[in-house]
Amino acid sequence: MTTDSSGAPDPIDLGDLTVVLNLSDLAQSVDFYTRLGFERTEVHGHDGERPISSKDNPNCATFRAGRQEVHLMRIGMNMLNFAVGEPKAVMAELQARGLEATPAGPDDSGTSLADPDGNIIYIMKRPPPGS
């Protein structure tokens, strides 16, 4: 871990961010985010090899506006998903900073940790281009 001249740790490159928000009413959420300018998409995730569809799922909806992506899911918590080139390197850096990061995802290809309020932060491998 490196630090700047003030002693603060250098930032970690956490790649692209996707926000996952807990929802209570899918129809109301779809209406709100559509009016906000987001376009609903059918893909809500990636398993490392292929996109995962949310089509016709009453518990989730995915929206995009430019490079911004929001997933709304009935999961009981909020979550941040970061897509990076090397999740294990990020996990090692987080552990060097005293954070409890544990392997997660298919074949432990990612890492996860919880913030002080129990929200999950998931760091996963960036999907291949065009997927």
104 near 110, Cβ under 8 Å?
yes
How far is residue 79's CA from residue 101's CA, in Å, rounded to a whole number? Answer: 15
Does the structural domain 16-125 have CATH classification 3.30.420.60? no
Question: What is the per-residue pLDDT across 9-24, written as a single tens digit (0 to 9) for each?
Answer: 888 888 888 888 888 8
Parse the chain into domains and list their residue ranges: 16-125
What does the mean pLDDT of the chain come to? 80
How far is residue 104's CA from residue 81's CA, in Å, rounded to a whole number? Answer: 12
Sign of the alpha-carbon dihedral angle for 20, 26, 30, 33: negative
Question: What is the per-residue pLDDT across 95-105, written as a single tens digit (0 to 9) for each?
Answer: 888 998 888 87
Q: What is the DSSP string of 48-103?
A: SSSEEE-TT-TTEEEEEETTEEEEEE-SSS-EEEEEES-HHHHHHHHHHTT---EE
Question: What is the per-residue pLDDT across 41-74, written as a single tens digit (0 to 9) for each?
Answer: 876 555 555 556 666 677 788 888 887 788 888 8
Supply the pLDDT for residue 32.
92
What is the pTM assigned to this prediction? 0.69
